[in-house]
Amino acid sequence: MLSMCLRYQPAMWRNIMTAANQPAMTMAKVATVEALRFMVDCLLAAGANKKAAEQQAKLLIQADKFGHPSHGLNRLEMYVNDIKSGNCEPNNDPEILKETQSTAWIDAKNVLGATVSHFAMDLAISKAKNTGVGWVAVKGSNHNGMAGYWAQLAADKGMIGMAFTNTSPLMAPTRSKQAALGTNPISVVAPASKGESFYLDMATTAAAVGKIEMKVREGAPLPSGWAQGPDGNETHDAEVAFDTKRLFPLGGGEVTSGFKGFGLGAMVELFTGILSGAKYGHHVRQWSHDAEGGPADLGHCFVAVDPECFAPGFGDRLADCIQHWRELEPLDPKLPVLTPGDKEKMECSRVDKCGTLSFVKQQIESSAALAKRLNVKPMECVVEK
């Protein structure tokens, strides 16, 4: 799930734009273990306990390893600010408010998103082992990063995992000039035979807001169908889109079936904020670097399904589909057909092989400033052109 909302800060983004418009963007390589160490140290310094800090940092690292920098180191300071402001209370314990053999309703008690997401998905998996299905709804939470990270936990146990979350309002429903839903991601991860797996993690907006951010960094225009400007019409200006905070649903406008993306986003809201009693839709506050707006009270939903409760051979059939899709004749021989999750798996394999992550210079500089602010050791890295 690649989804969240930052309040627009012109000075900050002008600095990013200056770096992004250089002929060759300066990059820095950081050892993966060093980046993880830095993230843990910062969260500890902010006030999180060791377990909470490590869980949140591992979530961020996985996003960077998967090639989704908007949800990796890039978001660390947001979590730190939430803790320092008191909007997030990282050392509380989530509470089960109600449960049956297959379901549970949890109050996150305003902990970090990674803390309650581990707790909730572990509970869903445990219930699925006993009854075939585990369905857990969470209220009172904070941003929980990539939705696929949580669905993967179930897949690692031989289950079909699903994870959903609501977010700050960013999606303008079809025919609307106002945002009313978040990017509300959907994730489904399932294990297959022959070393294969199905991995889907997608926003229900045409693009996650993190992709808008990256276009701002690059000084590049937006593709068609991504975002509205202040007048409600489509804009190709990334800065205008980021300031306006109104994304088209998946599919874009009405003529290209954007109402389907709106419907999917509304479905996620039903499973998360509405089902759990958390803040929902237009009631969710904006998320900003200055930590204004108070506690988030986000809603999550976690599902685990045991495929062994159904027809035998699930993993073989899934592997057959995945391999067939990859072997389809491509439109461009240089661009083979990819199955859901292939890009992430390839990027993660590359990172694991070299042992390093790459960050733009501006991000290294902002991380150094955060280290100084928190009195922690900055990341050690090598800058290269």
Residue 46 CA: distances (Å) to CA of 1, 83, 145, 189: 25, 6, 19, 33
Position 6 scores a pLDDT of: 30
Residue 360 lies in a domain: yes
314: domain range? 10-384
pLDDT category of residue 246 using cuts at 50, 70 and 90: very high
Residue 3 lies in a domain: no
Burial of 9 (0-12, 13-18, 19+ CB in 10 A): middle
pLDDT one-digit tens code per residue, 117-144: 999 999 999 999 999 999 999 999 999 9
> Under DSSP, is residue 244 helix (H, G, I), strand (E, B) or coil?
helix
Tokens of 71: 């949800």
Residue 174 lies in a domain: yes
Position 360 scores a pLDDT of: 84
Is the predicted pLDDT of residue 4 greater than 50, yes or no?
no
Is the predicted pLDDT of residue 3 greater than 70, yes or no?
no
Position 293 scores a pLDDT of: 75
CATH code, 289? 3.30.1370.60
The rounded mean pLDDT for the chain is 91
Phi-psi region of 375 (alpha: psi -120 to 50; beta: other; left: phi over 0): left
Tally of domains within the chain: 1
Residue 4 lies in a domain: no
Position 23 scores a pLDDT of: 37
Position 333 scores a pLDDT of: 95
Q: Please state the rounded mean pLDDT for residues 345-361.
A: 94
Residue 319 lies in a domain: yes
First to last CA, the chain: 31
Tokens of 127: 């219930």
Residue 1 lies in a domain: no
Is the predicted pLDDT of residue 67 greater than 80, yes or no?
yes
**Which of the 8 DSSP states describes residue 187?**
E
Position 289 scores a pLDDT of: 66
Position 143 scores a pLDDT of: 96
Can you say whether the dihedral through the CA atoms of 16, 19, 25, 26 is positive or negative? negative
- Please give the model's pTM, rounded to 2 decimal places: 0.91
CB-based contacts of 98, cutoff 8 Å, min separation 6: 104, 105
Position 27 scores a pLDDT of: 81
CB-based contacts of 126, cutoff 8 Å, min separation 6: 134
CB-based contacts of 10, cutoff 8 Å, min separation 6: none
Tokens of 375: 């009195």
Cα pseudo-dihedral 282, 285, 286, 292, rounded to 10: 160
C-alpha closest to that of 364 among 26, 123, 96, 9: 26
Residue 279 CA: distances (Å) to CA of 91, 180, 237: 22, 12, 31
Residue 348 lies in a domain: yes
Residue 132 lies in a domain: yes
pLDDT category of residue 25 using cuts at 50, 70 and 90: low
pLDDT one-digit tens code per residue, 275-334: 999 999 999 998 876 667 789 999 999 999 999 999 999 999 999 999 999 999 999 999
Is the predicted pLDDT of residue 13 greater than 90, yes or no?
no
- Backbone φ, ψ for residue 22 (5° rounding): -70, 150
> Do 299 and 272 form a contact (C-beta atoms < 8 A)?
yes
